[in-house]
Homo-oligomer: A and B are copies of this chain.
Amino acid sequence: MTDSVREAVQEKLANGIFNCPKELTLSMISGKWKINILYHLGTDGPYYFYELQKLLPAASRKEITAKLKELVEDGLVNRKPLKTVPVKVQYSITPLGKSLMPIIDAMLKWGQQRLDDLQLGQVEFGLGKVKHE
């Protein structure tokens, strides 16, 4: 759904009848993998595309591509293709994207607290290597 939120917001912006600021914010960070990408780029510095793929093993290339594209369109992420062979593309967070980090951090804290309350915070990470997204 979340992407439909984004589309609805885009349309409202285009028509100048946008009147719900929190929707704008949500539309920019929701969508599959988006806050994961933002979080990684915002805390660990720039990543190449193939590195993001490794960081998000459950996401398909198609989806990562699509979400990065949206993030770039929304001004939250920079895209920088390098003239190497084969091509590498570096993604980094923009100042605007950086300004969202307090909100993402707050979500991280709230989620951690909630997990603790559910007594799942200390859970074992069973299956060998767990992908920490």
- Cα distance, A24 to B117, chains bound together (Å): 13
A22 nearest CB across to chain B (Å): 4
Can you list 30 A-B contacts with CB-CB less than 8 angstroms, sorted by A residue number?
A1-B1, A1-B31, A2-B2, A2-B31, A13-B118, A13-B120, A16-B126, A17-B123, A17-B127, A18-B115, A18-B120, A19-B125, A19-B132, A20-B36, A20-B132, A21-B108, A21-B111, A21-B115, A22-B39, A22-B104, A22-B108, A23-B36, A25-B108, A25-B110, A30-B30, A96-B114, A99-B110, A103-B103, A103-B107, A106-B106
A118 nearest CB across to chain B (Å): 8
Query: How extensive is the interface on chain A, given as a class?
Result: 35 or more
Determine whether the beta carbon of B35 is less than 8 Å from that of A23. Answer: yes
List residues of chain A with CB under 8 Å of any chain B CB. Answer: 1-5, 8, 13, 16-26, 29-32, 35-36, 39, 58, 96, 99-100, 102-104, 106-112, 114-115, 118, 120, 123-127, 130, 132-133
What is the predominant secondary structure among interface residues of chain A facing chain B? helix
Determine whether the beta carbon of B99 is less than 8 Å from that of A26. Answer: no
CB closest residue in chain B, given A1: B32
Extra contacts besides A1-B2, A5-B32, A25-B110 (6): CB < 8 Å: A1-B1, A17-B125, A19-B125, A25-B108, A25-B114, A103-B106
